Structure 1
Amino acid sequence: MNMLESKVIQTKYEKEIFIEEKSNIEINEFRTLDKGTPFYEFMVGLDLIRIRDNEYYGNRESYVTIRISEDLQSLFVIEPDVQSIFAVKNKQEKEAAIELIQYLLVDSQTFKQVVSEMINNLKRENVVNVFEVKEANAKLAVLERLLNVKNEDINFLIRMEKIA
């Protein structure tokens, strides 16, 4: 039997279940340093199964924004404006979502596999000009940093007031 790792966020109305498979993790919208933003930033999307009243209620793609300092030492988890994993959750439910994000960034071997595949794909890309080389090198540095995240590296910038 092949057992899958999963994490459950119990909310007031439903259970949001993250099953740890590569197909349920997405990394996109990568932004590099510029004059207006002295940090790297990208989105991590998680496909969550929703169970309401003990029945399948559909899937939901939820996101979190990850911001990494210019020196690659600090990671900041920020609530995105849309499709946030923290949306419509009270303080305890947000703490469960934070626990899931910490697990993902620090302990999840599946997340590390996704990142490693992105690194390998990036190394195979054919970059042709100085700008593309610079951007690819920055993206590689950030992705390689994600392979070695520790709990103490992560700072959560999430509003914790009760909204649900």
Structure 2
Amino acid sequence: MNMLESKVIQTRFEKEIFIEEKSTININGFRSLDKNTPFYEFMIGLDLIRIRDNEYYGTKKSYVSIRISEDLQSLFILEPDVQSIFAIKNKQEKEAAIELIQYVLVDSQTFKQVVLEMISNLKKENVVNGFEVKEAKAKLAVLERLLNVREEDVKFTIRMENIA
């Protein structure tokens, strides 16, 4: 039997279940350094199964925004404007979401496989001009950094007040 790793966020209304598979994790929206933003930024999307009143209630994709310092040493977790994993959650529920994000970034071998596949695909891309080469190198450095994230590297900068 093939057992899958899963994590559950229990909210007042439902259970949000993250099943650890490559198809449930995506990384997109990469932004490089420029004169206005001294950091790298991207989004991590996680597919969550929703269970309400012990019945399947559908799925949703929730996002978290990640900023990495210019020196690639610190990762800052921010709440995105749309489809945030922190939306409509009280303090305890947000703490469970933080625990899930920490797990994905630090311990998840599946997340590391997704990153390795992205690195492999990036190395195969045909870049033709100086700007594309610079972007590809920056993205490659950020992705390689994601393979070695430690708990002490991650800083959460989300609002923890009760909004639900």
Pick the TM interval, shorter chain.
Answer: over 0.9
Name stretches of at least 5 consecutive residues in structure 1 with no aligned partner: none
The alignment partner of 1:37 has SS state of coil
Counterpart residue identity of residue 29, structure 1:
G
Give TM-score, length-normalised by structure 2: 1.00
Name stretches of at least 5 consecutive residues in structure 2 with no aligned partner: none
Cα distance in 1 between the residues matched to 2:132 and 2:105: 27
Give how far 1:121 is off: 0.2
The alignment partner of 1:120 has SS state of helix
RMSD: 0.3
Question: Are 1:94 and 2:94 an aligned pair?
Answer: yes
Identity, % of aligned positions:
84
Give how far 1:73 is off: 0.3
Cα distance in 1 between the residues matched to 2:9 and 2:24: 16
Give how far 1:133 is off: 0.4
Give how far 1:20 is off: 0.2
The alignment partner of 2:103 has SS state of helix
The residue number in structure 1 matching 2:46 is 46
The residue number in structure 1 matching 2:127 is 127
Question: Are 1:83 and 2:98 an aligned pair?
Answer: no
The residue number in structure 1 matching 2:107 is 107
The residue number in structure 2 matching 1:153 is 153
Give how far 1:4 is off: 0.1
Cα distance in 2 between the residues matched to 1:81 and 1:102: 20
Task: Encode CA deviations 1:45-76: one digit per residue, 9 max, x unaligned.
Answer: 00000000000000010000000000000000
Give how far 1:9 is off: 0.1
Cα distance in 2 between the residues matched to 1:60 and 1:40: 26
The residue number in structure 1 matching 2:65 is 65
Counterpart residue identity of residue 110, structure 1:
T
The residue number in structure 2 matching 1:23 is 23
Give how far 1:163 is off: 1.0
Instruction: Give the length in aligned residue pairs.
Output: 164
The alignment partner of 2:92 has SS state of helix
Structure 1 runs (4+) greater than 3 angstroms displaced: none
Task: Encode CA deviations 1:61-120: one digit per residue, 9 max, x unaligned.
Answer: 000000000000000000000000000000000000000000000000000000000000
Cα distance in 1 between the residues matched to 2:135 and 2:116: 18
